[in-house]
Amino acid sequence: MTTLLFSHDACLDHNTGEGHPERSDRLRAVNNALGAAQFSALDRREAPEVSRQTLILNHPEAFVEDVFARAPLDNQIYLDPDTIMSPGSAQAALRATGAVCAAVDEVLAGAADNAFCAVRPPGHHAEPDRAMGFCLFNSVAIAARHARNKFGLGRVAVVDFDVHHGNGTQAAFWEDKDLFYASSHQYPHYPGTGASGETGQGNIINVPLPAGTGSGVFRSRFAEHVFPALNEFKPELLLISAGFDAHADDPLAQLNLQDEDYGWVTDELLAIADQHSGGRVVSALEGGYDLGALGRSVAIHVQSLMQTGD
């Protein structure tokens, strides 16, 4: 068994413009890190395009069509003050979501233990009817519904350790008790959601962390809140919104995680997946804006994924 790596060069063509933090160099940093010799065993796959039919499992068809209709032929347009489309953005978004759905297909078919999707744009801020926060479509939420629609799964979980709350995933799962969402994030901070009292149907676990929080509190809050709830939920598939911007070096927030925290949380999540879902895990890149910290943190995260089948 093995770990899959899904990516596509089209994700480099999502051009957000000079000075934007969610830039193509992020994916280049990830690709460079995963090009090291210790990652030679990764099974590298080209991300396919997701179908429109799959997108509308999570997003209204009118919203999906509007996003594609607004794609510019040249230059850039702003969907909101943070979220940009360039001529290559629609194709990048199709490949980003296609990667996560294809990874779900392969993992659920038993072709691999797990997978990491090195893609952009990210997805967890995209609400069912709104693109925002650098995100066009919510790749992980779409993949969760795809897993249930195609494979008949009952319970699918998403765990999100990005420094920003995944308001889009929470909104998508809010009314569905068989979709679980847990998020640790700086609070108060963008996008303003993610208070501990936001619980949906009892399927939402928010772990707000004040600015300055470091490794010890991060780990204890996961151990006290996220892991017990995830064990109680007993997911048949675990998806990870893998944002690395809670790192102490990241310029967009003020948490103080270190490289090794990402290995720790990945190992703990894999242990829970082994217990409840046959080890079936698919992870997708979300945030992370210091290139050095991003590359190192992704490397540790993927090393943990690769060790699960040893």
134-150 pLDDT, tens digit each: 999 999 999 999 999 99
pLDDT, tens only, 94-117: 999 999 999 999 999 999 999 999
Whole-angstrom Cα distance, residue 52 to residue 105?
Answer: 17
Catalytic residue among 125, 165, 189, 301: 125
Which pLDDT score, from 0 to 100, does residue 218 have? Answer: 98
The tokens for 280 are 């079936």
The tokens for 283 are 């992870």
Residues with Cβ < 8 Å from 232, sequence gap 6 or more?
Answer: none
Which pLDDT score, from 0 to 100, does residue 117 have? Answer: 99
Is it the case that residue 308 has pLDDT exceeding 70?
Answer: no
Whole-angstrom Cα distance, residue 100 to residue 215?
Answer: 29
The pTM of this model reads: 0.98
Q: How many domains does the chain have?
A: 1
Q: Provide the pairing of β-strand 179-186 with 204-209.
A: parallel
| pLDDT, greater one: 310 or 158 | 158
Residue 199 belongs to domain with CATH number: 3.40.800.20
């193509």: which residue's tokens? 24
- The answer to whether 162 touches 207, Cβ cutoff 8 Å, is no
First to last CA, the chain: 9
Whole-angstrom Cα distance, residue 251 to residue 50?
Answer: 32
Range of the domain at 29: 3-307
Which pLDDT score, from 0 to 100, does residue 310 have? Answer: 47
Strand, coil or helix: 53: helix
pLDDT, tens only, 260-304: 999 999 999 999 999 999 999 999 999 999 999 999 999 999 999
Whole-angstrom Cα distance, residue 33 to residue 64?
Answer: 33
């919104």: which residue's tokens? 241
278: left (phi over 0), alpha (psi -120 to 50) or beta: left
Residue 124 annotated among the catalytic residues of the structure: no
């967890």: which residue's tokens? 124
Whole-angstrom Cα distance, residue 308 to residue 218?
Answer: 23
The tokens for 209 are 């962390």
- Mean pLDDT, the chain, rounded, equals 97
Q: Which alpha helices (H) appear in 197-290, and where do they start and end?
A: 215-221, 227-233, 259-276
